[in-house]
Amino acid sequence: MPEREQWKKLQEMIAASQRIVFFGGAGVSTESGIPDFRGEKGLYKAKTVYGHSPEAMVSHSFFVNHPQEFYRYYLNEMIYEQAQPNAAHRALARLEKQGKLQAVITQNIDGLHQLAGSRNVLELHGSVHRNYCLNCGAKYGLDFMLQHRQGSLPCCLDCGGLVRPDVVLYEEGLDGHVLSEAERYIRQADCLIIGGTSLAVYPAAGLVRYFQGDRLALINKSVTDFDRHADLLVRDNIGEALDWAVPQ
């Protein structure tokens, strides 16, 4: 199917829907210059520079047992504070403003959806913009964490406790409230647009199974196990496809 024909079908699908939900992963942010840390380049860099796999270094046990190494990797490899929203983020914000997009459900932790103007964003894996003291619960923004890129541990200004990012690490469970809200929105959706995710990370990927509508669009350059369930497959850049399909 020619590229523009797929985009046209996506446009028609969006026009025919009133309760759209978008479910996105790392591929949404790569077009803003944020690499997929689980991709080949990220894996290679992690093992050669830091001596561990990305999954190991952003695990709960590594955080507890090797906090210095954890923050060295996290602050230097997982935060891209200069990144700006791309065409996909802006198109989704547009769609929400038009009253058709009910929620953005994201596996990303970069906050770019909110920066683009989206208001109802469910962050399954948390956000780099939220940080808190493990001892007293004091809250800190991203700027505070970035002050510690050179190697000092981020310690609370009130009590001296360790400040950790409000992100879900490997070996940790997702926030139950966020998970149930995501499930509710997907169940009620008449159209589900999935973009930039391999749908391989659980339990987040399992949310797709709650969709009961009749318009499922999958925008992804690589093959996923859910392709056979999609009503529309788009193998193009997610930013270009959404920007074209969502009215200005």
User: What is the CATH number for 200?
Assistant: 3.40.50.1220
Question: Percent of the chain having pLDDT more than 90?
Answer: 81
Residues 97 and 204 placed together within one structural domain of the fold:
yes
CA–CA distance, 183 with 92 (Å, rounded to integer): 19
- The pLDDT tens digits for 216-237 are 999 998 888 889 999 999 999 9
Regarding predicted confidence, which is higher, 179 or 202? 179
How many separate domains does the chain show? Answer: 2
Residues 13 and 102 placed together within one structural domain of the fold:
yes
Residues 151 and 226 placed together within one structural domain of the fold:
no
Regarding predicted confidence, which is higher, 145 or 202? 145
CATH number of domain containing 67:
3.30.1600.10
Phi-psi region of 228 (alpha: psi -120 to 50; beta: other; left: phi over 0): alpha
Residues 233 and 121 placed together within one structural domain of the fold:
yes
Predicted local distance difference test score (pLDDT) of residue 44: 64
Residue 44 lies in domain: 40-80+132-167
Rounded to the nearest integer, the mean pLDDT of the chain is 93
1 has pLDDT over 90? no
Predicted local distance difference test score (pLDDT) of residue 97: 98
Residues 98 and 221 placed together within one structural domain of the fold:
yes
Q: For 23, what's the count of Cα atoms within 13 Å in the CB-facing half-sphere? A: 28
Give the number of other Cβ atoms within 10 Å of residue 148's Cβ: 15
Predicted local distance difference test score (pLDDT) of residue 110: 97
Residues 90 and 162 placed together within one structural domain of the fold:
no
Residues 183 and 223 placed together within one structural domain of the fold:
yes
- The pLDDT tens digits for 17-45 are 999 999 999 999 999 999 876 665 566 67
Nearest to 14 by CA among 199, 208, 226, 216: 216
Token pair of 62 as six digits: 């590594």
User: Annotated catalytic, 129?
Assistant: no
Residues 156 and 118 placed together within one structural domain of the fold:
no
Active site residue: 52, 89, 113, 125, which one? 125
Residues 238 and 180 placed together within one structural domain of the fold:
yes
Residues 189 and 222 placed together within one structural domain of the fold:
yes
Residues 29 and 48 placed together within one structural domain of the fold:
no
